[in-house]
Structure 1
Amino acid sequence: MLDPRYAWLRRLIALGLVLALWEGAGRAGWLNPLFAPSPSKVWVALVDLFADGRIWPHLEATFSAALGGLALGIVVGVLLGVAAALIPLVAELLEPVMSVLNAIPRVILAPLFVIWLGIGIASKIALSFILVAVLIFFTVFAGIRQVDRKLVERVVTLGGGRLALVRHVYLPSVAAWVLGNLKVAVGFAFTGACVGEFVAATHGLGYLLSFAQSTYNAALMFALILLILVVVMLIFAIAGRLERRLLRWN
């Protein structure tokens, strides 16, 4: 039976073997470097991005758009979700709109936001915002609807009003659901930022990806994809630690 303590080592060895085979196939000429550059060429492209310092303005642009859309989407999604869950009229008005937005691939709104808001950071924040807000809305809406009814009845029986229910029952439930979906929300935020930059921008990782595609620079594309992956995984780790710390009471 495999020892779970060494799962990370087995994964690292498997990754190393894949990279070694990939590098060997590239050096042997079995792979076309125009489409599948070897890992060493991808690494050189990644090092070059940091060596000349040109990556930092693009990282700043993507982070600003993603985190701005994430923060705004969480706030608006929570407020609308709570209002819809507690007020039937609001639910009647909002739920169909959110269902439509949830049904369509929201990244196709990127060109529309560019037309409305221009190629600056505002259109990228808007796309990240809409992706996150819809997710958080349904997370909060479902979370409050699924609160244990017996717990609500006990609070009411003990004399608790609407404010007590919100403070002691609904808000803890909302916090658990939102933090439980924080990783997904982070992924959506960076997706929105990068897609918006890919469509139209002057800075950002998505803009660099578009540039690499237009110049058929596959090594740069792989390097940027790897960089985005590493950045998002680091934020996932931070979000997971935050989730565990804040939900200890749960």
Structure 2
Amino acid sequence: MRQLLALTIALVLWEAAGRAGWLNPLYAPAPSRIGFALIDLFIQGNIWPHVEATFGAALGGLVLGIAVGVALGAAAALVPFIAELLEPVMMMLNAVPRVVLAPLCVIWFGIGLGSKVALAFVLVAVLVFFTVYTGIKQVDRRLVERVRTLGGGRWTVLREVYLPFVTAWIMGNLKVAVGFAFTGAVVGEFVGASRGLGYLLSFAQSTYNAALMLALVFLIMAFVLAIFGAAGRLEKRLLRWR
């Protein structure tokens, strides 16, 4: 309730400052202008193909990144030789600001869906790799030995010990992964695309339409927060065993 009240006060003060002429509308348009720009996007109906493109790229990169990150992270944590091969590569990828890979993805995969999925995939895969790798490494070895002492084989250990711990670590970082996926999709569209929310942001920037830019930023925030809420509910359901 207090957060909603603080947000309302901030918007009222922002609107009052805009109407009083204290803010340059070219750089900081009033909330009412941003709201009208957002409403126009939906009234015209042109927003939906762009939303579909961004969601498709983000979710595609998210799913592929989680799948590959889990597989590589688990393999590196369980097989020392694979860890020696993968860990330096992942550390180098993690050290590089991965959004700078956007131009390369556009060159390699074109301005279509592929380059956006690829960039979102890289961002998510590196995060999930280290999440799974660290999660398995921190499993209590005494628990593993107890399961083996009771007659549990390799698959039993994986299913009853490693899988619950890895699931907990992945769900704990799922919101970050979702944010990375949308970052990759939007940045890729901003660099080069024919549609998508990032493409609309680039168009708004080129036309100095600050109201449209802020409307798109708030729209992306709303979508991501909605997914965060769904991820939170999924996390509670899957981690009831805790």
Q: Indicate the TM-score class for this superposition, using the shorter chain for normalisation.
A: over 0.9
2:4 equivalent among 3, 12, 15: 12
Post-superposition CA distance 1:208-240 (Å, at most 9, x none): 000000000000001000000000000000000
C-alpha distance in 2 between matches for 1:138 and 1:181 = 11
1:157-213 CA-to-partner distances (Å, cap 9, x unmatched) read 112222111111111111111111100000000000000000000000000000000
Task: Measure the CA separation in 2 of the matches of 1:82 and 1:218.
Answer: 45
State the identity as a percent. 71
Matched, 1:59 2:57: no
1:117-147, Cα deviation, whole Å (9 max, x unpaired): 0000000000000000000000000000000
SS of aligned partner of 1:139? helix
TM-score (normalizing by structure 1): 0.96
- The one of 65, 78, 82 equivalent to 1:90 is 82
Q: Residue type of the partner of 1:157?
A: T
In the other structure, the counterpart of 1:112 is: 104
Corresponding residue to 2:127 among 102, 113, 135:
135
User: In the alignment, is residue 28 of structure 1 matched against residue 20 of structure 2?
Assistant: yes
Task: Provide the C-alpha distance between the structure 1 equivalents of 2:45 and 2:119, rounded to a whole number of angstroms.
Answer: 28
CA shift, 1:150, in A, is 1.1
What stretches of structure 1 move > 3 A for 4+ residues in a row? none
Listed as ranges, the matches of 1:58-77 within 5 Å are 58-77=50-69
For structure 2, the 5+ residue unaligned runs are none
Please state how far the C-alpha of 1:61 moved relative to its aligned partner.
Answer: 0.1
Aligned to 1:220: 212
SS in 2 for 1:130: helix
Q: How many residues in Structure 1 have an aligned counterpart in Structure 2?
A: 242
Match of 1:179 in 2: 171
Flag structure 1 segments of 5+ consecutive residues without an equivalent: 1-8
1:231 aligns to what? Answer: 223
Q: After alignment, is 234-243 or 151-160 more displaced? A: 151-160
Cα distance in 2 between the residues matched to 1:30 and 1:206: 30
Tell me whether 1:188 sits opposite 2:170 in the alignment. Answer: no
1:77 counterpart letter in structure 2: G
Q: Do residues 249 (structure 1) and 241 (structure 2) align?
A: yes
> Partner residue of 2:190?
198
Shift of 1:57: 0.2
Q: Is 64-73 or 10-19 further displaced after alignment?
A: 10-19
